[in-house]
Protein backbone atom coordinates (compact mmCIF):
# COMPACT_ATOMS: atom_id res chain seq x y z
CA UNK A 1 0.00 0.00 0.00
CA UNK A 2 1.20 3.50 -0.76
CA UNK A 3 0.23 6.98 0.36
CA UNK A 4 0.47 10.27 -1.43
CA UNK A 5 2.49 13.16 -0.05
CA UNK A 6 -0.78 14.78 1.02
CA UNK A 7 -1.74 11.63 2.94
CA UNK A 8 1.63 11.48 4.69
CA UNK A 9 1.47 15.16 5.56
CA UNK A 10 -1.97 14.67 7.10
CA UNK A 11 -0.93 11.56 9.08
CA UNK A 12 2.37 12.87 10.37
CA UNK A 13 1.70 16.57 10.81
CA UNK A 14 4.73 17.32 8.62
CA UNK A 15 3.99 19.75 5.81
CA UNK A 16 4.25 18.67 2.20
CA UNK A 17 6.86 21.38 1.74
CA UNK A 18 9.01 19.81 4.45
CA UNK A 19 8.59 16.35 2.94
CA UNK A 20 9.73 17.72 -0.42
CA UNK A 21 12.73 19.30 1.30
CA UNK A 22 13.60 15.98 2.94
CA UNK A 23 13.50 14.40 -0.52
CA UNK A 24 15.68 17.14 -2.03
CA UNK A 25 18.44 16.63 0.57
CA UNK A 26 18.23 12.83 0.40
CA UNK A 27 16.89 12.39 3.92
CA UNK A 28 13.56 10.84 2.95
CA UNK A 29 13.03 9.86 -0.64
CA UNK A 30 9.56 8.64 -1.69
CA UNK A 31 9.02 5.05 -2.77
CA UNK A 32 8.25 6.31 -6.24
CA UNK A 33 6.98 9.30 -8.18
CA UNK A 34 3.74 8.80 -10.09
CA UNK A 35 3.04 9.72 -13.70
CA UNK A 36 1.29 12.78 -12.35
CA UNK A 37 4.55 13.90 -10.69
CA UNK A 38 3.28 13.26 -7.17
CA UNK A 39 5.45 11.57 -4.58
CA UNK A 40 4.18 8.34 -3.03
CA UNK A 41 5.36 6.69 0.18
CA UNK A 42 5.15 3.13 1.45
CA UNK A 43 5.56 1.54 4.87
CA UNK A 44 9.36 1.66 4.72
CA UNK A 45 9.32 5.40 4.20
CA UNK A 46 6.77 5.94 6.95
CA UNK A 47 8.99 4.06 9.41
CA UNK A 48 11.96 6.16 8.33
CA UNK A 49 9.91 9.33 8.77
CA UNK A 50 9.00 8.24 12.28
CA UNK A 51 12.69 7.85 13.11
CA UNK A 52 13.43 11.27 11.63
CA UNK A 53 10.73 12.93 13.72
CA UNK A 54 11.87 11.20 16.91
CA UNK A 55 15.44 12.33 16.40
CA UNK A 56 14.29 15.82 15.51
CA UNK A 57 12.39 16.00 18.79
CA UNK A 58 15.60 14.98 20.57
CA UNK A 59 17.28 18.06 19.14
CA UNK A 60 19.47 16.53 16.41
CA UNK A 61 20.27 18.48 13.26
CA UNK A 62 19.16 17.14 9.89
CA UNK A 63 22.73 16.10 9.10
CA UNK A 64 22.96 14.24 12.41
CA UNK A 65 19.59 12.63 11.78
CA UNK A 66 20.67 11.44 8.34
CA UNK A 67 23.84 9.90 9.77
CA UNK A 68 21.96 8.25 12.63
CA UNK A 69 19.27 6.74 10.41
CA UNK A 70 21.62 5.63 7.64
CA UNK A 71 24.10 4.06 10.07
CA UNK A 72 21.48 1.58 11.29
CA UNK A 73 19.90 -0.28 8.36
CA UNK A 74 18.02 -2.57 10.72
CA UNK A 75 14.78 -0.67 11.37
CA UNK A 76 13.91 -2.62 14.53
CA UNK A 77 17.35 -2.07 16.04
CA UNK A 78 17.11 1.63 15.21
CA UNK A 79 13.72 1.90 16.86
CA UNK A 80 14.99 0.15 19.98
CA UNK A 81 17.92 2.55 20.19
CA UNK A 82 15.65 5.54 19.77
CA UNK A 83 13.31 4.11 22.39
CA UNK A 84 16.21 4.03 24.83
CA UNK A 85 17.00 7.66 24.03
CA UNK A 86 13.39 8.63 24.58
CA UNK A 87 13.35 6.89 27.95
CA UNK A 88 16.50 8.78 28.93
CA UNK A 89 14.90 12.04 27.85
CA UNK A 90 11.72 11.17 29.76
CA UNK A 91 13.76 10.60 32.90
CA UNK A 92 15.54 13.92 32.41
CA UNK A 93 12.26 15.73 31.98
CA UNK A 94 10.91 13.89 35.01
CA UNK A 95 13.77 15.21 37.11
CA UNK A 96 13.08 18.72 35.85
CA UNK A 97 9.40 18.29 36.66
CA UNK A 98 10.34 17.24 40.20
CA UNK A 99 12.44 20.37 40.53
CA UNK A 100 9.56 22.55 39.40
CA UNK A 101 7.23 20.71 41.82
CA UNK A 102 9.57 21.51 44.69
CA UNK A 103 9.66 25.10 43.57
CA UNK A 104 5.87 25.26 43.50
CA UNK A 105 5.75 23.84 47.01
CA UNK A 106 8.20 26.49 48.19
CA UNK A 107 6.23 29.40 46.74
CA UNK A 108 2.71 28.24 47.63
CA UNK A 109 2.47 31.34 49.81
CA UNK A 110 2.86 33.68 46.86
CA UNK A 111 0.55 36.68 47.17
CA UNK A 112 -1.76 37.10 44.22
CA UNK A 113 -1.61 40.89 44.57
CA UNK A 114 2.17 41.30 44.55
CA UNK A 115 3.44 38.08 43.00
CA UNK A 116 6.09 37.95 45.72
CA UNK A 117 6.93 35.09 48.01
CA UNK A 118 5.37 35.80 51.39
CA UNK A 119 8.12 34.06 53.33
CA UNK A 120 11.19 33.55 51.14
CA UNK A 121 13.18 33.05 54.30
CA UNK A 122 11.52 29.67 54.78
CA UNK A 123 14.40 28.07 52.93
CA UNK A 124 16.78 29.44 55.52
CA UNK A 125 14.65 29.05 58.61
CA UNK A 126 16.62 28.22 61.73
CA UNK A 127 19.91 29.53 60.44
CA UNK A 128 22.05 31.51 62.84
CA UNK A 129 24.62 33.10 60.61
CA UNK A 130 26.39 34.64 63.60
CA UNK A 131 27.62 31.17 64.52
CA UNK A 132 30.20 31.59 61.75
CA UNK A 133 31.42 34.98 63.00
CA UNK A 134 34.36 33.68 65.01
CA UNK A 135 35.67 31.51 62.20
CA UNK A 136 35.17 34.22 59.59
CA UNK A 137 36.81 36.85 61.81
CA UNK A 138 39.83 34.62 62.28
CA UNK A 139 40.26 33.50 58.66
CA UNK A 140 39.30 36.70 56.82
CA UNK A 141 39.44 39.58 59.32
CA UNK A 142 39.25 42.42 56.76
CA UNK A 143 36.42 40.82 54.82
CA UNK A 144 34.55 40.06 58.04
CA UNK A 145 34.62 43.68 59.17
CA UNK A 146 33.55 44.81 55.70
CA UNK A 147 30.59 42.42 55.76
CA UNK A 148 29.64 43.39 59.30
CA UNK A 149 29.53 47.10 58.40
CA UNK A 150 27.39 46.48 55.33
CA UNK A 151 25.02 44.12 57.15
CA UNK A 152 24.36 46.76 59.78
CA UNK A 153 22.90 49.05 57.11
CA UNK A 154 20.36 46.50 55.81
CA UNK A 155 16.64 46.90 56.43
CA UNK A 156 14.20 44.01 56.85
CA UNK A 157 13.06 44.54 53.26
CA UNK A 158 16.66 44.40 52.08
CA UNK A 159 17.20 41.09 53.83
CA UNK A 160 14.00 39.57 52.42
CA UNK A 161 14.95 40.76 48.94
CA UNK A 162 18.34 39.11 49.27
CA UNK A 163 16.70 35.91 50.47
CA UNK A 164 14.42 35.91 47.44
CA UNK A 165 17.45 36.33 45.19
CA UNK A 166 19.23 33.43 46.87
CA UNK A 167 16.17 31.18 46.53
CA UNK A 168 15.78 32.08 42.85
CA UNK A 169 19.48 31.39 42.26
CA UNK A 170 19.19 27.97 43.90
CA UNK A 171 16.24 27.13 41.65
CA UNK A 172 18.13 28.19 38.52
CA UNK A 173 21.07 26.02 39.54
CA UNK A 174 18.71 23.10 40.14
CA UNK A 175 17.35 23.51 36.62
CA UNK A 176 20.88 23.38 35.21
CA UNK A 177 21.58 20.25 37.24
CA UNK A 178 18.34 18.58 36.15
CA UNK A 179 19.23 19.28 32.53
CA UNK A 180 22.60 17.58 33.00
CA UNK A 181 24.55 20.80 32.33
CA UNK A 182 28.23 20.59 33.23
CA UNK A 183 29.36 22.89 36.05
CA UNK A 184 31.95 24.39 33.72
CA UNK A 185 29.34 25.27 31.09
CA UNK A 186 29.26 28.96 30.17
CA UNK A 187 25.63 29.33 31.25
CA UNK A 188 26.30 27.82 34.68
CA UNK A 189 29.39 29.95 35.15
CA UNK A 190 27.43 33.06 34.16
CA UNK A 191 24.94 32.21 36.92
CA UNK A 192 27.78 31.72 39.41
CA UNK A 193 29.21 35.08 38.38
CA UNK A 194 25.87 36.73 39.16
CA UNK A 195 25.84 35.00 42.54
CA UNK A 196 29.41 36.07 43.24
CA UNK A 197 28.52 39.68 42.46
CA UNK A 198 25.65 39.40 44.94
CA UNK A 199 28.04 38.19 47.63
CA UNK A 200 30.38 41.05 46.82
CA UNK A 201 27.71 43.46 48.00
CA UNK A 202 28.55 42.20 51.48
CA UNK A 203 32.19 41.13 51.17
CA UNK A 204 34.63 40.17 48.44
CA UNK A 205 35.90 36.60 48.81
CA UNK A 206 39.15 35.63 47.14
CA UNK A 207 39.72 32.24 45.52
CA UNK A 208 40.31 30.35 48.75
CA UNK A 209 37.46 32.01 50.61
CA UNK A 210 34.98 31.39 47.80
CA UNK A 211 35.92 27.72 47.64
CA UNK A 212 35.51 27.45 51.41
CA UNK A 213 32.08 29.02 51.13
CA UNK A 214 31.04 26.43 48.55
CA UNK A 215 32.35 23.62 50.72
CA UNK A 216 30.38 24.96 53.68
CA UNK A 217 27.18 24.54 51.65
CA UNK A 218 27.99 20.82 51.53
CA UNK A 219 29.50 20.25 54.97
CA UNK A 220 27.03 22.20 57.10
CA UNK A 221 23.94 20.04 57.48
CA UNK A 222 21.54 22.96 57.65
CA UNK A 223 22.86 24.61 54.50
CA UNK A 224 22.84 21.30 52.69
CA UNK A 225 19.31 20.47 53.85
CA UNK A 226 18.00 23.64 52.25
CA UNK A 227 19.71 22.85 48.97
CA UNK A 228 18.24 19.35 49.15
CA UNK A 229 14.77 20.88 49.48
CA UNK A 230 15.24 22.18 45.94
CA UNK A 231 17.01 19.20 44.37
CA UNK A 232 18.99 16.19 45.53
CA UNK A 233 22.73 16.73 45.15
CA UNK A 234 22.33 20.46 44.54
CA UNK A 235 24.77 21.48 47.28
CA UNK A 236 27.56 19.46 45.66
CA UNK A 237 26.66 20.82 42.22
CA UNK A 238 26.76 24.38 43.56
CA UNK A 239 30.11 23.78 45.26
CA UNK A 240 31.68 22.25 42.16
CA UNK A 241 30.52 25.17 40.01
CA UNK A 242 31.98 27.61 42.53
CA UNK A 243 35.31 25.79 42.46
CA UNK A 244 35.50 26.14 38.68
CA UNK A 245 34.64 29.83 38.94
CA UNK A 246 37.22 30.43 41.69
CA UNK A 247 40.00 28.67 39.81
CA UNK A 248 39.28 30.44 36.54
CA UNK A 249 38.36 33.96 37.66
CA UNK A 250 39.46 34.75 41.21
CA UNK A 251 42.87 35.67 42.57
CA UNK A 252 44.56 34.76 45.80
| pLDDT tens digits along 208-227 | 888 888 888 888 787 788 78
Helix (H) or strand (E) segment spanning residue 4: strand 3-4
Predicted pLDDT at 26: 93
CATH of domain 3-71: 1.10.1660.10
From CA 86, how far away is CA 16, in angstroms rounded? 26
For the range 111-119, what are the long-range contacts, defined as Cβ-Cβ under 8 Å and sequence gap of 24 or more? 116/164, 117/164, 117/167
Please list the residue range(s) of the chain that carry CATH number 1.10.1660.10.
3-71
SS3 249: helix
Q: Please, which pLDDT band fits residue 155 given cuts at 50, 70 and 90?
A: confident
For the range 235-240, what are the long-range contacts, defined as Cβ-Cβ under 8 Å and sequence gap of 24 or more? 237/173, 237/176, 237/177, 237/183, 238/170, 238/173, 238/214, 239/214, 239/215, 240/183, 240/214
Predicted pLDDT at 28: 94
Of 184 and 231, the structure prediction assigns the larger pLDDT to 184
Predicted pLDDT at 203: 76
In the chain, alpha helices (H): 5-12, 16-24, 43-57, 62-70, 75-106, 133-139, 141-151, 156-178, 186-199, 207-219, 221-230, 234-249
Sorted by sequence, the CB contacts under 8 Å of residue 90 that are 6+ apart come out as none
125 has a pLDDT exceeding 50: no
SS3 11: helix
Of 22 and 111, the structure prediction assigns the larger pLDDT to 22
**C-alpha separations of 231 from 128, 177, 221, 226, 237 in Å:** 23, 9, 15, 9, 10
| pLDDT (mean) for 157-161 | 68
Chain segment 21-64, per-residue pLDDT in tens = 999 999 999 999 998 899 999 988 998 898 888 888 877 788 88
Q: Report the CATH fold assignment for 98-249.
A: Globin-like (1.10.490)
Sorted by sequence, the CB contacts under 8 Å of residue 100 that are 6+ apart come out as none
pTM: 0.47
Chain segment 68-86, per-residue pLDDT in tens = 888 766 666 777 777 787 7
Please list the residue range(s) of the chain that carry CATH number 1.10.490.50.
98-249
1-15, 35-49, 151-165: the lowest-pLDDT one: 151-165
241 has a pLDDT exceeding 80: yes
Amino acid sequence: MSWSIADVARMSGVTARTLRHYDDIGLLEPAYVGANGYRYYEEEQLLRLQQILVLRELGLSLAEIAHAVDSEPDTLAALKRQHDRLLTERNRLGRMADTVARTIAEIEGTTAMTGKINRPENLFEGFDYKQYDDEARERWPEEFEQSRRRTATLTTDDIESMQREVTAAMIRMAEFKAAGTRVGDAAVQAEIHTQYQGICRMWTPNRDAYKCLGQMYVDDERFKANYEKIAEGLAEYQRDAMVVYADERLGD
